[in-house]
Structure 1
Amino acid sequence: MEPPRRLALELPGCALAHFAVGGPDPGLRPEPRAAALLGPGGRGYLLCAGLAPGGGCAARVRAARLLQRLLLGLRRGPLRGCQLRPLLCYGPGGGADGVQRGFLLLDPGHGPDTRRALCALLGEAPGGPRLGEFVGDARRQVWQRLWEPRGGEGWRQVGPCERVVSVPEPALHPVLPDLPSSAVFPHRRAARAVLEACVPFIPEAQAVLDLVDQCPEQVQKGKFPVIVIEGLDATGKTTVTQSVSDSLKAALLKSPPACISQWRKIFDDEPTIIRRAFYSLGNYIVASEIAKESTKSPVIVDRYWHSTATYAIATEVTGGLQHLPPAHHSIYQWPRDLLKPDLVLLLTVSPEERMRRIQGRGMERTREETELEANSIFRQKVEMSYQRMENPGCLLVDASPSREEVLQMVLSIIQNNCN
């Protein structure tokens, strides 16, 4: 018999609760936290983007876009008053093919039309996504029933109700095996496959691929040092990179590079897998520019692979700091086919100082920069991921003092670490 699927639900306070659907032992005591799957009305709904095992990159892209479409519909339509919580569905053995992303929808009023509205949002195409419904009974047990479309004839319940039971938390977050295929691409080929799958509905994807194809797959750094400066928004990164570049008479490069920045807004509005592939390929274009410029002068790079990876990890790994990949995990390793810098500096300031600077800037911010302001746990996850990066790691620089002091500190570190 196939082992039951498992659910990882993010609870308030960034805790994770793990459940199995179809627990085999009817004598198990119900887990009190299973009630988190139910709304105040005693009912909850699971919306998950299905992904068939071995479906490949195109299937991943389709599932991600379907989930995003559902999320937009939930936020704008008649169900916008419902609560949404991130949820993962995964197999007990792990593996990238087994992870499905979704949401738990809780209807505070448990209106009679909730399921009908969800079915209308999902559509009635045969073979489309199923709808999971959680209900409780008098013995405080939670059950899941599945609904599927009948092809223009409404929806019907599929199979028997299955009991939901608590299961132990896995040693590592269940999304980790999936990250190299969906967010933290370990090489250029993996990111390229994603944008190839996007060409039919994102014309700009082909333009990005054409620019990537103009870059040699293997590039070598020149004789001059390459220094990357990373940091959260409002840590003084732009000012420092420009000042260091002027002081060292160095070339100043940015990631994403100017040649694709015109399409940044388009890809920022896409699901994680597409957005991360865009930024990942931007790093390979920058690498080609680094190789060229480092033969003539030192090179300063405003963000590079570390920022691409850290934001992806912090976004995709639900829960709190304790759920991040442990130190020395392979996800923190630099891609083997990406030109490596000589030095990476991470600018840091206190949360209070960073907020003060943000409020004084009045600049348009990306979705992730806005999340940094609103969610302190997300910010801490980004910072922790930065600090766990390896080969190369990041040297921390306190960017709180004056511009002149920070500049001198950075120049001193460069002098001591680079010939």
Structure 2
Amino acid sequence: MFPRGALSPSRLLSSMRAAPVQTERCFVAELAGSELVYFTWSRSGPPGEGARPRGFWPPPARCYSFCIGAAQSPRERVPAARLHKQLQQKLRQAPFGAGCQVLPLLSYDPRDAAAPEKGFLVQMAQAVQETERSLEELLRLHLPAPAHLCVYQEAGDGQLWRLDGAGESKELLGKARVVLAPPPDRHPAASLLQDGAVFTSREAARRVLEECRPLIPEARTVLDLVEKCPHLPKRGEFPVIVIEGLDATGKTTVTQSLKDSLNAVLLRSPPPCVSQWRKTFDDEPTLVRRAFYALTNYIVASEIAKESTKSPVIVDRYWHSTAAYAIATEISGEVSNLPPLHHPVYCWPEDLLKPDLVILLTVSPEERIRRLQGRGTEKTKEEAELEVNRFFRQKVEESYRRMENPSCQLVDASPSREEVFKDVLHQIKRHFPLL
């Protein structure tokens, strides 16, 4: 079954083109432990040439891969993103769930900066013909033709081969050796970030949710709220201070204490008027989810403009948080794969009201875990990922540190609450002596 409001993939994607298999394309898969493996296919060269990539299980296991054709127009982005998520969910169900591991896969052309195609590398513990037919049927039903399922088979000499096609005709349609590919200068997913995960303007995020109107009823309500917000709202004369940080760094305590101490207004992002729809959008693919969170920042900006005419404003998370989590989620692997310093993805949107000061609270991973124990609160998928995946946590923290205009002022939140509050207040007084 497809999520409520979804049209069938054949209708949604009737005009999408699935790119044919080309030997010049390269691929990157994220293995367990956040290790990335880059590979490609070679039809030339003597047998044994080129190293075999990791990530392909030996017999009696068998591996498969497929990618979803890139959307050919902005209107096709949402259907393509939802289809990818639907296929991901189906690959977790019978007959694929047991003895099967599904890894994220990107297909890209190293000579072309165009957006890569998303897909999956499926590892099955047993090469069961019935399961393989189920996988072929899944693609036949949900992907536009021609959809290519690649089957990976190990030869007697240890060489790994990619076979194209279906049933007994695989080798007749194509056969190529699988070899390591050199990693590119930048992670292939970097080209998907701007206005695909980190939105550079209100209009860019709004266009995505507009495409969701017939699919997600809540999108209409969010868009109506955004339309009521003025473009480029003018702020008041009082300072605007944002407190950022991972969960369990003490943001709630610090923001509440600052509100009382400075006689300030405390705002949160997302604001209460849209918080009830977070679960709905958290279940959507990255493109839709991030567009929602981007637009909530513009709603908060409207509130900031109004409140800063009367008193100082403290904001519990804002744009930096939205961007940092998006970057860390989309860029697989370790911290070294993040976009470099001064990349546009770290820059504040020009049409979003900018704060005067951003303070980032930091604690050690061990201290975070200690504080989280016994909380008993429901965690989002990303919050749960922070606890079990140290690379994800490191990518979020490093993304925060790379933000520019404004950058984050770091405060160690490991000491007592009183000491942390005193340190944060000192930072604020240093910037605003009259407060």
Same fold, TM exceeding 0.5?
yes
- Structure 2 matches for 1:139-178, cutoff 5 A? 139-147=157-165, 159-178=173-192
Answering whether residue 48 of structure 2 is matched by residue 34 of structure 1, we say no
Indicate if the aligned counterparts of 1:333 and 1:391 stay in contact, CA closer than 8 A: yes
Match of 1:318 in 2: 332
**How has the CA–CA distance of structure 1 residues 338 and 96 changed in structure 2, closer, same or farther, with 3 Å as cutoff?**
farther
2-structure distance, mates of 1:161, 1:25: 11
Match of 1:198 in 2: 212
Indicate if the aligned counterparts of 2:347 and 2:403 stay in contact, CA closer than 8 A: yes
Q: 3-state SS of the aligned residue for 2:120?
A: strand
Match of 2:133 in 1: 116
1:75 shift after superposition: 1.3
Answering whether residue 377 of structure 2 is matched by residue 357 of structure 1, we say no
Indicate if the aligned counterparts of 1:96 and 1:177 stay in contact, CA closer than 8 A: yes
Answering whether residue 80 of structure 2 is matched by residue 63 of structure 1, we say yes
Indicate if the aligned counterparts of 1:183 and 1:313 stay in contact, CA closer than 8 A: yes
- Structure 2 matches for 1:214-225, cutoff 5 A? 214-225=228-239
Answering whether residue 25 of structure 2 is matched by residue 5 of structure 1, we say yes
Match of 2:109 in 1: 91
Cα displacement string for residues 351-402 of structure 1 (whole angstroms, at most 9, x for unaligned residues): 1111111112111111100111111111111111111111111111111222
2-structure distance, mates of 1:387, 1:35: 33
**How has the CA–CA distance of structure 1 residues 146 and 61 changed in structure 2, closer, same or farther, with 3 Å as cutoff?**
farther
Cα displacement string for residues 89-126 of structure 1 (whole angstroms, at most 9, x for unaligned residues): 111134343x1112211111222222112123334365
Answering whether residue 70 of structure 2 is matched by residue 51 of structure 1, we say yes
User: What letter is aligned with 2:258?
Assistant: V
Indicate if the aligned counterparts of 2:25 and 2:109 stay in contact, CA closer than 8 A: yes
**How has the CA–CA distance of structure 1 residues 35 and 405 changed in structure 2, closer, same or farther, with 3 Å as cutoff?**
closer
1:189 shift after superposition: 1.4
Indicate if the aligned counterparts of 1:124 and 1:155 stay in contact, CA closer than 8 A: no
User: What letter is aligned with 2:56?
Assistant: L
1-structure distance, mates of 2:256, 2:40: 53
**How has the CA–CA distance of structure 1 residues 128 and 69 changed in structure 2, closer, same or farther, with 3 Å as cutoff?**
farther
Answering whether residue 317 of structure 2 is matched by residue 303 of structure 1, we say yes
Indicate if the aligned counterparts of 1:226 and 1:300 stay in contact, CA closer than 8 A: yes
Cα displacement string for residues 183-229 of structure 1 (whole angstroms, at most 9, x for unaligned residues): 01111111111111111110111111111111122122211110000
Match of 2:350 in 1: 336
Match of 1:412 in 2: 426
Indicate if the aligned counterparts of 1:332 and 1:389 stay in contact, CA closer than 8 A: yes
Q: 1:78 aligns with which of 73, 95, 117?
A: 95
Q: 2:294 aligns with which of 273, 280, 283?
A: 280
1-structure distance, mates of 2:127, 2:173: 23
Cα displacement string for residues 231-271 of structure 1 (whole angstroms, at most 9, x for unaligned residues): 10111111111110111111111111111111111001111
**How has the CA–CA distance of structure 1 residues 223 and 156 changed in structure 2, closer, same or farther, with 3 Å as cutoff?**
farther
1-structure distance, mates of 2:138, 2:105: 19
1-structure distance, mates of 2:51, 2:107: 20
1:407 shift after superposition: 1.3
Unaligned 5+ runs, structure 2:
1-20
Cα displacement string for residues 279-313 of structure 1 (whole angstroms, at most 9, x for unaligned residues): 00101111111111111111100000111111111
Count of residue pairs brought into register by the alignment: 410
User: What letter is aligned with 1:66?
Assistant: L
**Percent of pairs with identical residues:** 55
Query: Which segment drifts farther, 102-111 or 55-64?
Result: 55-64
1-structure distance, mates of 2:114, 2:425: 43
**How has the CA–CA distance of structure 1 residues 70 and 239 changed in structure 2, closer, same or farther, with 3 Å as cutoff?**
same
1-structure distance, mates of 2:425, 2:286: 36
Answering whether residue 272 of structure 2 is matched by residue 258 of structure 1, we say yes
2-structure distance, mates of 1:198, 1:163: 42
- The alignment's TM-score, normalised by the length of structure 2, stands at 0.89
Q: 3-state SS of the aligned residue for 1:120?
A: helix
**How has the CA–CA distance of structure 1 residues 19 and 28 changed in structure 2, closer, same or farther, with 3 Å as cutoff?**
farther
Match of 1:267 in 2: 281
2-structure distance, mates of 1:328, 1:7: 27
1-structure distance, mates of 2:278, 2:165: 38
1:314 shift after superposition: 0.7
Indicate if the aligned counterparts of 1:94 and 1:177 stay in contact, CA closer than 8 A: no
User: What letter is aligned with 2:96?
Assistant: L
Indicate if the aligned counterparts of 1:30 and 1:166 stay in contact, CA closer than 8 A: no
1:333 shift after superposition: 0.9
**What RMSD, in angstroms, separates the aligned Cα atoms of the two structures?**
2.2
**How has the CA–CA distance of structure 1 residues 100 and 272 changed in structure 2, closer, same or farther, with 3 Å as cutoff?**
same
User: What letter is aligned with 1:74?
Assistant: L
2-structure distance, mates of 1:302, 1:313: 20
Q: 2:121 aligns with which of 75, 80, 104?
A: 104
2-structure distance, mates of 1:336, 1:117: 48
Runs (4+) of structure 1 exceeding 6 A deviation are: none
Indicate if the aligned counterparts of 2:23 and 2:40 stay in contact, CA closer than 8 A: no
Indicate if the aligned counterparts of 2:37 and 2:54 stay in contact, CA closer than 8 A: no
User: What letter is aligned with 2:136?
Assistant: C
Cα displacement string for residues 395-419 of structure 1 (whole angstroms, at most 9, x for unaligned residues): 1111122222211111110010135
Q: 1:130 aligns with which of 132, 140, 148?
A: 148
Query: Which segment drifts farther, 249-258 or 123-132?
Result: 123-132
